Copies of this chain bind each other. A is one copy, B any other.
Amino acid sequence: MARVSQEHLDARRRQIIDGAIRCFTRNGFHATSMQDVLREVGLSAGAVYRYFSGKEELIGAIVGEAFGTIRGAFEDAAKQDPPPLPDKLLAHVLDTVLNGRVGGGSIEFPRLVLQVWAETLRNEGLATPLREGFADMRVAWGKLVDAYREAGLMPDDVDADAVARTMMALAQGFIAQQALFGDAKVEQLEAGLRALMRMEVPKVS
């Protein structure tokens, strides 16, 4: 045997994924060639194909990691007790997402997310886990809304799922703005939502 250590194999795999993430974030999945990836990671074709059976599998691994990062951030936020108000909750999620490991941690990750969303539209094998994850997160966040109701912060007749979806839309929209314009600050979203929450709503509109 001349097997190399498992750490070495893991490190190589990570090296490939990290380089591929840089390429895909920069140029999208399908405008990036495998040769671009090979150049970026500094390995030969044969080496990369030892770790991934092809481009499709490489994309799948990266999309899966991105799902995990986002899902983790949402679930992490929902776990807090007592549940923070929506503005704080969203700020926490977005801070976690933007500082996560995948994609280099910063301004790069939202761009990867946009590419992942686009890819999900044309790959049913990716769409299914995304839908399931979204459904789970809606349930978790719906429970937060129930907690708001029980604390007397919201009327009893609100649609918890609608509120959960609305808060998640805010997070998704922020990620889109961050990816597209780069200058979105979490504090701005927090302040903006806080202002909406404090708005005086006339009885009849």
A contacts, CB < 8 Å to B = 26-31, 84-86, 88, 111, 114-115, 117-122, 127, 130-131, 134, 145, 148, 152-155, 158-159, 161-174, 176-177, 179-181, 184, 188-189, 191-202, 205
B114 contacts A118, CB within 8 Å? Answer: yes
CB neighbours of A201 from chain B (8 A): 85, 153, 194, 197-198
The answer to whether B27 and A122 have CB atoms under 8 Å apart is yes
Q: Are B111 and A115 in contact (CB under 8 A)?
A: no
Copies in the complex: 2
Q: List 13 A-B contacts (CB under 8 A).
A: A30-B30, A85-B199, A134-B180, A148-B199, A153-B200, A159-B192, A162-B192, A163-B196, A165-B192, A169-B189, A171-B173, A172-B177, A173-B174
Contact, CB under 8 Å: B170 / A166: yes
Which label, helix, strand, loop or mixed, suits the secondary structure of the A interface?
helix
Residues of B within 8 A of A122 (CB): 26-28, 31
- The verdict on A195 contacting B162 (CB below 8 Å), with A30-B30, A134-B181, A180-B117 known, is yes
Q: How far is the CB of A175 from chain B (nearest CB, A)?
A: 8
